[in-house]
């Protein structure tokens, strides 16, 4: 059986990339809802409908677990999907607690999509963790569009990030939480604008760790030749140009992997 990774677009490849390193003998399905990307600026009801449609498709693909490799979809729909399906469903959330635990009492900037930052999950995290009001929130929705167009280091990206970061005195910050899986493609562009002491924190490793734990509980880990089958909104990706595009994203993620 296979492990599915679902996202609104190509951001979820960053979680799959980590899983492929941690689970070299598993087989994967990657589903990017390219017909409806981006999710982060849409209404919650729309997002729930899109996720529901994607899950119905994925359940026909002989999957043993689904990773919702999208913070927005997790916030809106993961609980509902867990009520509907019995297989393990592992979601994402901005790694705010990890950042606070790692870096103590310095400020943390949480970047994500608007819908994630407004969501109930974020509200609860903020109430639990906003010690001495040390957490700031910054929506960066245009990074999703930039990523979908493979635009990572253009003058437009740099200008967008410079303007977004300009209100913050980063000498007071310990870390930037990458609260959208699309944002991992921009570590080098961000790194050029941030002091060296400001670290990046994301939820990818924790999500993959939880996936492995849940599969071990079910004795469901396998020893097979690693494969990845990709779908765009339910259509299998077979076109050579599109497969090359996805491989380019994975190459980009490999370059970003060691930037902290």
**Residue 31 to residue 234: CA distance in whole angstroms:** 7
DSSP the chain: -EEEEEESSGGGHHHHHHHHHH-TT-EEEEEE-TTT---TTS-HHHHHHHHHHHHHHHTTS-EEEEEE--HHHHHHHHHHHHHH--S-EE-----HHHHHHHHTTSEEEEEE-HHHHHSHHHHHHHHHH-GGG-EEEEE-THHHHHHHTT--SSHHHHHHHHHHHTT--GGGEEEEEE-SGGGGGGHHHHHTTS-TTPEEE-SHHHHHHHHHHHHHHTT-------EEEEEETTEE---HHHHHHHHHHHHHHHHHTT--
**Residue 66 to residue 87: CA distance in whole angstroms:** 8
Q: Catalytic pick from 13, 47, 70, 164? A: 70
Vertex 120 angle, CA 116 and 123, to 5°: 90
Q: Look at strands 235-236 and 227-232 and give their pairing.
A: antiparallel
In 10 A of CB 62, how many CB atoms?
11
Q: Is 230 a catalytic residue?
A: no
Q: Catalytic pick from 87, 99, 161, 180? A: 180
Give the residue numbers marked as catalytic.
Answer: 70, 180
């Amino acid at each position: 059986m296979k492990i599915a990774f679902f996202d609104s677009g190509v951001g979820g490849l960053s979680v799959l990339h980590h899983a492929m390193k941690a689970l070299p003998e598993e087989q994967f399905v990657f589903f990017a809802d390219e017909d409806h990307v981006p999710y982060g600026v849409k209404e919650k009801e729309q997002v729930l409908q899109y996720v529901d449609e994607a899950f119905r498709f994925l359940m026909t693909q002989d999957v043993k677990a689904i990773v919702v490799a999208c913070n927005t979809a997790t916030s809106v729909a993961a609980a509902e999907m867990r009520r509907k399906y019995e297989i393990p469903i592992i979601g994402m959330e901005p790694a705010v607690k990890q950042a606070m635990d790692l870096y103590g009492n310095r400020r943390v900037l949480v970047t994500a999509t608007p819908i994630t930052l407004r969501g109930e999950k974020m509200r609860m995290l903020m109430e639990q963790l906003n010690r001495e009001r040390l957490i700031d929130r910054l929506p960066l929705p245009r990074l999703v569009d930039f990523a979908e167009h493979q635009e990572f280091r253009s003058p437009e990206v740099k200008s967008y990030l410079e303007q977004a970061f300009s209100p913050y005195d980063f000498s007071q910050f310990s870390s930037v939480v990458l609260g959208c899986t699309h944002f991992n493609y921009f570590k080098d562009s961000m790194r050029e604008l941030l002091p060296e002491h400001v670290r990046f924190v994301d939820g990818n490793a924790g999500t993959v760790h939880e996936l492995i734990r849940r599969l071990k509980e079910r004795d469901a880990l396998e020893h097979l030749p690693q494969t990845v089958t990709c779908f765009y909104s339910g259509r299998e990706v077979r076109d050579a140009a599109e497969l090359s595009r996805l491989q380019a994203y994975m190459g980009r993620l490999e370059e970003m992997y060691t930037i902290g």
